[in-house]
Amino acid sequence: MNPRKPQFAQARRGKPAHAKPSLAQAETTQLVQIVKPIYGGAFLARMEGKAVFVPLTLPGEQVRVRISASKRGYDTADPDEIVAAAPERIAPACPHFGACGGCHYQHTGYDTQLAFKQSILRETLERGGVQAPEEIAVISGDPWHYRNRIRLAFDSAGNPGYRARQSHNIVPIRECPIAAPLLLKAASASAEIMRTLNWELGQTEISFFCNGDESALLASAYTVNPEEGRFVKWARALEERIPALKGAELIRQAADGKQMGMAGEWGSLGLTYPASGFDYRVDRGSFFQVNRWLVDALVECVTEGHKGNLAWDLFAGVGLFARKLADSFERVVAVESASASKAALEHNLRGSTGEAVIAETLPFLRRRRPMEKPDLVVVDPPRTGLGPETTSLLGEVGAPALVYVSCDPATLTRDLRALIGFGYAIRSITLVDLFPQTFHIETVVRLRRE
């Protein structure tokens, strides 16, 4: 039985050049038994006692694999043939699955995906010395068409696409069942217009962001050789094809991908995003949660039951949590460092009990620590987490309640271990599945000071 072999052969293209296996390893396949999922999208097998990480497989399967990279502690391998398939295996909904690097779990049902994530989260916590509660709650929604933001590049023929699995190659995309349909329509129309304008697509990337009901759209174009006149023609033509387009920006980008600054603007700076009972302003380049089906549920999970005199919302973005907290706290301080979020954050808190503070979290804590003690602290840091000094300062502040929103279980575990050392205890852990079909895990942890 080999129902996935053509797909696997395609997925192996463009594998990384570093840590090459030996010629003998590359030319031969070996039979392995898949044991369990691991964070990052692959699955664990063992070969002569050594860990082997294999994507696109499932626990219980027997798979012939080819080693693609070998390191001291583990090997990575590509599946070549499913010898014995797991009963949980299904046909992926997307024809690009396997080659495209965006999704990792489309070859199994959604209930199984959620079970994988619960297992990975619990194991990561407990391996790191953090005792997880008996129940890890799950909040989930429709696992399709949920993304309100995508970013694409272009292949040599000018077709829009995503980066390939394990490489920077472009996989042309005809469809994307995890994205809001408006985004793919905009991508297709944009590519056609750019080709007519002789845009240098080989050195261009483009991102789109829409609100929950797809009534408003923002676009950002990143290119090495920006031309404002051509950009304005593109934006106007795109608006004719996609009337939801409200604004666009042109960003100068270095060859290595580093952003070098604004080169052109068209239309509105932001859009209105109704969520959790409020019309949020979200500007181009600012952070907003990606799952349009679960924004309200996430806000409720973070803020429900909290009230008092003072709350801090650290890493506040455009104020998604802060605006809701302002309904139940006499004062809310929302701390955000990204300049792209500043105007929207101030706008969203206007007329409420919220106050926007444009600062990095660490300097804010150093300055505010001896001055005031909040009743609640909400933290939603980037993937790198809080780090030792931030957790130490939060421990000194000693707010009676703390809610940690995390997108990485490893850094979450590290930070929770530190916070527990400062007297906090975990009251609940909720897995909010903002990224169905992928390995990404969003977690909300509620803590109380003992």
What CA–CA distances, in Å, run from 322 to 44, 297, 338, 352, 432? Answer: 40, 15, 16, 10, 19
Q: Which residues contact 415 (CB under 8 A, 6 or more apart)?
A: 385, 386, 387, 391, 404, 406
The Cβ of residue 127 has, within 10 Å, a number of other Cβ atoms equal to 11
Q: Which residues contact 226 (CB under 8 A, 6 or more apart)?
A: 250, 251, 252, 263, 264
Instruction: Convert the pLDDT of each residue in 137-193 to its tens digit.
Output: 999 999 999 999 999 999 989 999 999 998 889 999 999 999 999 999 999 999 999
Mean pLDDT, rounded, of the chain: 93
Q: Decide which of 2.40.50.140, 3.40.50.300, 1.20.120.1200, 1.25.40.10 is the CATH code for 5-89.
A: 2.40.50.140
Q: What pLDDT, on the 0 to 100 scale, is given for residue 270?
A: 97
- Spatial distance between the Cα atoms of 392 and 398, rounded to a whole number of angstroms: 10
Q: Residue 310 corresponds to which amino acid?
A: L
Confidence grade of residue 26 (pLDDT, cut at 50, 70, 90)? low
Q: What pLDDT, on the 0 to 100 scale, is given for residue 393?
A: 95
**118-142+287-449 maps to CATH 3.50.50.60:** no
Q: What pLDDT, on the 0 to 100 scale, is given for residue 305?
A: 97
Burial class (CB in 10 A: 0-12, 13-18, 19+), 158: middle
Residue 449 has pLDDT above 90, yes or no: yes
Q: What pLDDT, on the 0 to 100 scale, is given for residue 8?
A: 47
Three-class SS state of 59 = coil
Q: Cα 407 vs. chain centroid, distance in angstroms?
A: 7
Average pLDDT over residues 318-328: 98
Least confident of 180-184, 254-258, 291-295, 410-414: 254-258
- Spatial distance between the Cα atoms of 102 and 173, rounded to a whole number of angstroms: 11
Q: Are 54 and 33 in contact (CB under 8 A)?
A: no
**149-272 maps to CATH 3.40.50.720:** no
| 281 phi-psi bin (left φ>0, alpha ψ -120 to 50, beta other) | beta
Long-range contacts of 414-417 (CB under 8 A, 24+ apart): 414/128, 414/385, 415/385, 415/386, 415/387, 415/391, 416/125, 416/130, 416/445, 416/447, 417/128, 417/129, 417/130
Look at the chain and count its residues.
Answer: 450
Confidence grade of residue 27 (pLDDT, cut at 50, 70, 90)? low
Q: Are 14 and 166 in contact (CB under 8 A)?
A: yes
pTM comes to 0.92
Alpha helices in 85-198 (DSSP H): 110-127, 181-196
- Spatial distance between the Cα atoms of 225 and 393, rounded to a whole number of angstroms: 45
Q: Are 120 and 37 in contact (CB under 8 A)?
A: yes
Confidence grade of residue 369 (pLDDT, cut at 50, 70, 90)? low
Q: What pLDDT, on the 0 to 100 scale, is given for residue 13?
A: 34
Residue from 98, 116, 112 nearest 4 by CA: 98
Confidence grade of residue 350 (pLDDT, cut at 50, 70, 90)? very high
- Spatial distance between the Cα atoms of 245 and 236, rounded to a whole number of angstroms: 9
Q: What pLDDT, on the 0 to 100 scale, is given for residue 368?
A: 77
Output 147 or 4, whichever has higher pLDDT.
Answer: 147
Domain boundaries, the chain: 5-89, 118-142+287-449, 149-272
Q: What pLDDT, on the 0 to 100 scale, is given for residue 23?
A: 44
Residue 20 has pLDDT above 70, yes or no: no
Dihedral sign for Cα 31, 32, 33, 34, please.
Answer: negative
Instruction: Convert the pLDDT of each residue in 242-266 to its tens digit.
Output: 999 999 999 998 887 788 899 999 9
Instruction: Convert the pLDDT of each residue in 198-244 to its tens digit.
Output: 998 888 999 999 999 999 999 999 999 899 999 999 999 999 999 99
Average pLDDT over residues 40-53: 96
Q: Do domains 5-89 and 118-142+287-449 have the same CATH topology?
A: no
Average pLDDT over residues 133-137: 96
User: Which H or E run contains 207?
Assistant: strand 204-210
Residue 15 has pLDDT above 50, yes or no: no
The Cβ of residue 174 has, within 10 Å, a number of other Cβ atoms equal to 12
Which residue, chain included where needed, has tokens 């804010």?
A: 364
Residue 124 has pLDDT above 60, yes or no: yes
Q: What pLDDT, on the 0 to 100 scale, is given for residue 48?
A: 92
β 62-70/30-33 pair status: antiparallel
- Spatial distance between the Cα atoms of 393 and 377, rounded to a whole number of angstroms: 12
Residue 442 has pLDDT above 60, yes or no: yes
Phi (first) and psi of residue 432, to 5 degrees: -100, 110
Q: What pLDDT, on the 0 to 100 scale, is given for residue 14?
A: 36
Q: What pLDDT, on the 0 to 100 scale, is given for residue 228?
A: 94
